[in-house]
Amino acid sequence: MKKEKAKNRSNIIWTLFSSVKLTVTLLIILAMVSVLGTLIPQTNGAAEFAKTLSPALRQLFVSLDLFDMYHSLWFQMLMGLLTLNIIICSLDRFPATWKRFSKSPGPDRKKPFERLAPEHTFAIHTPRTDAGSAVHDLLTSKYRKLRAKETGADHFFCGERGGYSLFGVYLVHLSVLLILVGALVGSFFGFEAYVNVVEGETVDTVISRKTRTPIDLGFEVTCDDFSVDFYENGTPKEYQSEVTFSVDGKKRMRESIRVNHPATFEGVTFYQSNYGTVPGNTVHLTLLKGGTESEAISLKAEPGKSLPLPGGEGTFSIIDLRANIMDLGPAAMVSVQPRTGPAMEFWIFRHPERAKSLLPPPMLNSPKFNASAFAPYTFQLAGLDTRYFTGLQANRDPGVSIVWMGCFLMVAGLFISFFTSRQRVWVRLSKTKDGLSVAVAGTCSKNPVGLQRELDRLTNHLKQIFQKDQAV
Amino acid sequence: MINAIILSYTTFIYFIAFFLYLLFMVMGRPFFGRLATAATLVGLVAQSFAIVLRWIESYQLGIGHAPFSNLYESLIFFTWTIIFLYMVVEWKTKNRTLGTFVTPLAFLAMAYASFSPGINSKIQPLVPALKSNWLISHVITCFFGYAAFGLSFALSIMYLLKRMDTPQKKNMFLKLIPAQDILDELNYQMIVIGFLMLTLGIITGSVWAHSAWGSYWSWDPKETWSLITWLIYASIIHSRLVRGWKGKKIAFLSFVGFCCVLFTYFGVNYLAGLHSYAK
Ligand code: HEM
């Protein structure tokens, strides 16, 4: 009793998962879920969007994982159901398909001839044995499998080709599984990370995008050079990083990385993703004495190193340097140490006019922003040496080759199932009063129009052969 | 920018072609049908010429790239593929009625490209991410897919119209539309071709994204909507093959599918706008 029940239950499950009704339902649910996923901002914009919701609604969204639904448990379960559906459905149907593929019908089947088209039959006067071998030769040249049979007055031939067409569907379904497996492998054993490398510097870790924590690469990446090209209208044309990969200080590989041309080392692939600048080590200053240009003195300074003032009034140094401060452009903080008295510190800007127009007056009037605070000198920031850094995306994805294999298989499978068909053709030679009657018929797994064309061709071909015979 | 001038003439030619196809179906005179085919062919040749010219011009400007890089160029190419595919179908089926339903799509797409103020017809330089041969294969396969779905959409409309035809009716327009089972079969063939092309398009797009950003799938709205479209057409194929759905149901689903195509193409830009919640 118990066993029976269990069997029944497994039967119900088997029936459910081998049904295409479930497939269509799942595909449509997936489509609708994806629609939702494009309406609700995922991960990046989610925080902002969440603020616009009422707390209760927000709580509901969070508990349903609606802000990161593609990684949620329920989405993965949906994928799992689809996988199970494909597997069970294929297992359920494969034996029947295999039977269709491997079992050949008797060559003397009557059924194909039941709907014989008049234009596919004609009479000849060739002797039967000659006619038989002619048909045999023609069919073997065109069809892979050929079987013949003589029954009393009739001589049958049956040729078959394109049997592989029956398996196209299995390739497509297998490919879906492969792609899902590849994605799973990638999410378990891979990572997505990024790293900024300043020209001339070396890093050995990258930062995970998901956890924001460093990942140890096990090798070093040096950016030897970075360059960026622009079109005439100012839009970027090409970014390029020259990168050296080394292990324990030993150089192993040099590559140039461009957008669309990543480089792979030890399973980690580096993509050109963005770039930026950091201040270099040389600051160009102009000192105006007494505020007049005629007494301008150009100086080069390095941050942190103190330099004497030209008139010997004391020393100064650059104690802070920013490539872009509050969107005002480059700025440096100068500290002047007079011979006697306390030190003074103030900011100087590369673009003082911009600073003047954008900063509020109380701020401007404070000594912190007065470049002439130490009379009689006025400090000007003439320029900064900047260095580029290259922003690299660094990914490891061992699943990607499985995904590409799946994609290839999918295209091949779609091609086979859409555009090929198994064709079987029958030729029957029957004795008549004054010779032989030839009849051509066929069946196919799909594309009946193609079959009709094939039968037309075959009939014409046979007619030609026998006409030639007759002419001799 | 002679190519843009030729293209705006092409818009006009496709409108004339539509008018002639319509005349052919309303009056039932084959002469107009032949004229319509000729006009469409002229439009196609002129458009092909303009696309090649545009390609050459981009090289003369020193920013050479295949002309599939912005909305204007993609609309032009979409029109080209749909007309090209239609010409193949007309030639294969020896039937002109589909033209009445396809040429308006081509005309509208061209008119939108040429006259919408928001669309820039200038040849623009490519940003580095767009410089990829995968991108070219991506655009070509996607647009052939969209064109096949466009034809399927037109065939669905014809199918629904044909249902109104009865032997007693004397409406020439309806009489000329092929029988329902022929439409249904052709519709399915277009869906199948479109599905294969869309699959190829999504795959080549993934390969491109993978080489440009290191991730073959990142669920961005455009990607997701192409997946939605793909899922809809996959369910059409299954419901037909296995559940034996035909005719009206398939026509209706094909309608839904094409709406998804349109949304993938145009609507997603609007979604991206939705994402900026700055009020
Ligand atoms: C996203 C997933 C799927 C895709 C892309 C897909 C694709 C396809 C395609 C393209 C065909 C048409 C083949 C032809 O024209 O002969 C097909 C047929 C079929 N599919 Fe799927 N399929 C998917 C999932 C499934 C699942 C989960 C099942 C499980 C029940 C299933 C069952 C079938 C069956 C029974 C056929 C008909 C085979 C025949 O008799 O010709 N499919 N599928």
Q: How confident is the model over A265-314, as pLDDT tens digits?
A: 988 999 888 888 777 778 888 888 875 556 788 888 888 888 888 878 88
B 187-246 near A (Cβ less than 8 A)? 192-193, 195-196, 199-200, 203, 206-208, 210-217, 219, 221, 224-225, 227-228, 231-232, 234-235, 238-239, 242-243
B132 touches chain A (CB under 8 A): yes
Average pLDDT over residues A63-71: 77
Nearest-Cα residue of chain A relative to residue B217: A183
Lowest mean pLDDT among A145-154, B118-127, B242-251: B118-127
Identify which of B55, B57, B208, B78 has the alpha carbon closest to the alpha carbon of residue B131.
B208
SS3 content of chain B, % helix, strand, coil (to 5): 80, 0, 20
Dmax over CA atoms of chain A, in Å, equals 135
Instruction: Give the per-residue pLDDT at A470.
Output: 61
> How far is A180 from A405, CA to CA, in rounded Å?
11
**Which is it for the CA torsion B16, B18, B23, B28, positive or negative?**
positive
Q: What distance in Å separates residue A65's CA from the closest CA in chain B? A: 16
Distance of CA B254 to the CA centre of its chain: 14
| Nearest CB to B212 within list A35, A259, A410 | A259
Say what percent of chain B tops pLDDT 90.
41
Instruction: Looking at the CA of residue A410, tell me the nearest atom of ligand 1.
Output: 5
Which stretch, A51-55, A453-457, B3-7, B227-231, has highest mean pLDDT? B227-231
Amino acid in position B156:
S
Residue A252: strand, helix, or coil: strand
pLDDT of residue B30: 85
Q: Closest partner residue to A42 among B200, B219, B277, by Cβ?
A: B219
Give the pLDDT band (50/70/90) at residue B67.
confident
Query: Which position has the token pair 């100068």?
Result: A334
If phi over 0 gives left and psi between -120 and 50 gives alpha, with beta otherwise, what is residue B194?
alpha
Q: Which residue does chain A place closest to B229, by CA atoms?
A: A31
> In sequence order, what DSSP letters do the residues of A69-85 get, joined into one string?
GGGSHHHHHHHHHHHHH
Asked if residue B154 has pLDDT above 90, the reply is yes
Ligand 1 centroid, distance to B226 Cα (angstroms): 19
Q: Residue A75: how many CB atoms within 10 A of its CB?
A: 17
- Ligand 1 atom with the smallest distance to the CA of A19 is 30
Residue A56 Cβ < 6 Å to ligand 1 = no
Task: Say yes or no: CB of residue B274 within 6 Å of ligand 1.
Answer: no
The DSSP output letter for B266 is I
The shortest CB-CB distance from B203 to any of A49, A238, A411 is to A411
Amino acid B247: pLDDT: 77
- Establish whether residue B272 lines the binding site of ligand 1, counting it when its CB lies within 6 angstroms of any ligand atom: no
Q: What is the pLDDT of residue B272?
A: 53
B234 confidence band (pLDDT: 50, 70, 90): very high
- Ligand 1 center to residue A171 CA distance, Å? 10
Chain-chain contact of B231 with A70 (C-beta, under 8 angstroms): no
Quick check: B277 pLDDT over 60? no
Instruction: Note whether A274 contacts B: Cβ–Cβ < 8 A.
Output: no
Q: Cβ(A286)–Cβ(A378) under 8 Å? A: no
User: What per-residue confidence (pLDDT) applies to A177?
Assistant: 95
Whether A430 shows a pLDDT value over 50: the answer reads yes
pLDDT digits 0-9 by tens, A51-66: 777 778 778 777 777 7
pLDDT digits (tens, 9 = 90+) for A132-186: 888 888 888 888 888 888 787 788 888 888 888 999 999 999 999 999 999 999 8
CA distance B277 to chain A (A): 7
Q: Closest approach of chain A CAs to the CA of B98, in angstroms?
A: 20
Half-sphere exposure of residue B233: CA atoms within 13 angstroms, side-chain side: 30
Q: Is B161 in the pocket of ligand 1 (CB under 6 A)?
A: no
Q: HSE of A135 in the Cβ direction (CA atoms, 13 Å)?
A: 29
Nearest protein Cα to ligand 1, atom 2: A176
- CA neighbor of A321 nearest in space, from A288, A372, A277: A277
The per-residue pLDDT for range B168-192, each reduced to its tens digit, is: 777 777 778 888 888 888 899 999 9
More confident residue, B235 or A115: B235
Contact (CB<8Å) A410/B199: yes
- Would an 8 Å CB–CB cutoff place A390 in contact with chain B? no
Beta bridge partner(s), residue A21:
none
Interface membership of A21 toward B (CB under 8 Å): yes
Residue bearing the CA closest to ligand 1, atom 9: A169
CA distance A220 to chain B (A): 20
* Beta-strand runs (E) in B122-188: none
Q: Is A262 on the interface with B (CB under 8 A)?
A: yes
CA distance A202 to A252: 14
Chain B residues in contact with A39 by the CB 8 A cut-off are: 271, 274
pLDDT band at A7 (very low <50, low <70, confident <90, very high): low
pLDDT tens digits, one per residue of A105-132: 777 777 777 777 888 888 888 777 788 8
DSSP A370-384: -TT-STTEEEEEEEE
pLDDT at res. B151: 94
With CB atoms and an 8 Å threshold, state whether A27 touches B231: yes
Does the pLDDT of residue A320 top 60, yes or no?
Answer: yes
Residue B76 near residue B7 (C-beta atoms within 8 A): yes
Separation of A201 CA from ligand 1 center, angstroms?
53
Residue A47 token pair: 């925080």
CB of A229 less than 8 A from some CB of B? no
Which atom of ligand 1 is least distant from the CA of A18? 30
Report the gap between the CA of A239 and the closest CA in chain B (Å). Answer: 7
CA gap A241, A262 in Å, rounded = 10
Higher pLDDT, B179 or A254: A254
Whether residue B279 has pLDDT greater than 60: no
Average pLDDT of chain A is 84
Range A255-260 contact pairs with CB under 8 angstroms and sequence separation of 24 or more = A257/A390, A257/A392, A258/B128, A259/B128, A259/B129, A259/B131, A259/B212, A260/B128, A260/B129, A260/B131, A260/B132, A260/B208, A260/B211, A260/B212
Task: Lowest mean pLDDT of A5-9, A379-383, B79-83, B210-214, name the range.
Answer: A5-9
pLDDT at A201 over 60: yes
Q: Measure B52 CA to nearest chain A CA, in Å.
A: 23
Tokens for B272, please give them.
């991206």
Q: Contact at 8 Å (CB) between A258 and A243?
A: no
A268 Cα–ligand 1 center, Å = 36
| Atom 11 of ligand 1, nearest CA residue | A169
Could you tell me if A49 lies within 8 Å of chain B, comparing CB atoms? yes
Q: Is A472 on the interface with B (CB under 8 A)?
A: no
Split at pLDDT 50, 70, 90, the class of B41 is very high
